[in-house]
Amino acid sequence: MIRHATDSDADALATLHRRCFAPRGERVWPAAEWAALFTNRATHCLVVDEDRLVGALLMQIGGDCADIITIMTDPAKQQSGIGRALLDAGMAHLPPLGVSRLMLEVAADNLAARALYTRAGFRPIGIRPHYYKRSGTDRVDALLLACDL
Ligand SMILES: CC(C)(COP(=O)(O)OP(=O)(O)OC[C@H]1O[C@@H](n2cnc3c(N)ncnc32)[C@H](O)[C@@H]1OP(=O)(O)O)[C@@H](O)C(=O)NCCC(=O)NCCS
């Protein structure tokens, strides 16, 4: 079931975020950070609830444009259509709110996320060179993608 998240999901979202991002050495967002996001009326978060949270899409709206802040599927459930279902639900949710364009940044080496976005109709609109830190001194470009809704 896809539903809107509430602040009571903060602990579960922090757990899911850790499972998705900690193995890649990325900073995880504690529950307090998730709870703080829900105090911002521009925040829209959809979750996939299968008795526990197995997916989440976090977006922020600014005027007629929205940004995907993050999207994540539990590693045990990846490549089973959850990310695409979340993206489809998010893209259907936004136009009635006056949003006509959805944008995001993705690391050039995140092939799973790039595949998800490309298949959903996102197209490249720019690059931020050497934007993401990797191990040592390595850096990876951020690709800016957009989709007209
Ligand atoms: C990116 C992520 C959300 C994709 O979620 P998912 O539930 O596995 O995606 P889906 O199963 O819905 O797949 C959507 C499409 O992307 C493709 N895809 C997903 N993972 C892929 C992979 N590892 N390699 C190649 N293609 C992949 C699927 O084949 C599918 O294409 P299709 O619609 O033509 O069948 C998931 O890999 C994830 O949580 N990654 C860690 C967190 C992250 O990097 N988030 C993105 C931050 S910008």
Domain ranges of the chain: 2-148
The rounded mean pLDDT for the chain is 96
Instruction: Report angle CA 38, 41, 44 to the nearest 5 degrees.
Output: 65
% of the chain surpassing 70 pLDDT:
100
CB of 48 within 6 A of ligand 1: the answer is: no
Rounded-to-10 torsion of CA 98, 66, 92, 75: -170
What are the pLDDT digits (tens) for 102-149? 999 999 999 999 999 999 999 999 999 999 988 777 899 999 999 999
pTM for the model stands at 0.96
Going from the C-alpha of 28 to that of each of 18, 50, 64, 80, the distances in angstroms are 5, 22, 29, 24
Mutate to test the pocket of ligand 1, among 116, 117, 118, 144 (most ligand atoms within 8 A of CB): 116
Q: Classify 17 as helix, strand or coil.
A: helix
What are the pLDDT digits (tens) for 42-59? 999 999 999 999 999 999
Q: What is the pLDDT of residue 25?
A: 82
For the domain 2-148, what is the CATH superfamily, name and number? Gcn5-related N-acetyltransferase (GNAT) (3.40.630.30)
Q: What separation in Å is there between the alpha carbon of 139 and the centre of ligand 1?
A: 22
